[in-house]
Amino acid sequence: MNEELPALHPSDSHTQRDAEVLIIAALSERLDVALTKTSIPTGNGGRVELDGATEDLSILVEAYAHQGALRGSQPKKLATDALKLTWIGRQLGAKRLILAVADEEVESYLQRPTAWLTQALRDLGVEVIRVDLDRATARAIRMAQSVQFR
């Protein structure tokens, strides 16, 4: 019997979520440490989900797979990820907080010399590290972005 999978909604971000796994793997290799998706209890019954962390929680990572210029609320997503990293990082005494990106434009956006977000990231100790995705993955992300609703 041939069962068809339900069609994904055009705004579904499964392509980006899949790419985030690749970003974490590439960063793990670069840093020569094991990084795994982690869920940390917050003490109030909630949890903080992180895209990557070392077993001892000394390195915490959020991955961002977007390709190309940021639009709309996308910069706010990066600022929110940085806030999450700094807050939970302080709770845990983490040594490194990393926003891992996979696109030169996104990296450049986070490193604009006169931007408040750039200065805030530096002051809060959040590193921005770009890793390269293979061309097919980057192309798939761009295609997915072009059909997603904003």
pLDDT digits (tens, 9 = 90+) for 16-33: 677 788 889 999 999 999
Model confidence, pTM:
0.82
Q: Using the Cα atoms of residue 112, residue 100, residue 38 and residue 138 in order, give the sign of their dihedral.
A: positive
Instruction: Report yes or no on 9 lying in a domain.
Output: no
- Sorting pLDDT into bands at 50, 70 and 90, what band is 65? confident
Q: Is the pLDDT of residue 96 over 60?
A: yes
Find the domain containing 85 and state its range.
22-147
To the nearest whole number, what is the mean pLDDT of the chain? Answer: 85
Q: Say what percent of the chain tops pLDDT 70.
A: 83
Report the length, in residues, of the chain: 150
Count of domains for the chain: 1
Give the SS3 label for residue 130.
strand
Q: Are 126 and 144 in contact (CB under 8 A)?
A: no
Query: Is residue 2 over pLDDT 80?
Result: no
CATH number at residue 70: 3.40.1350
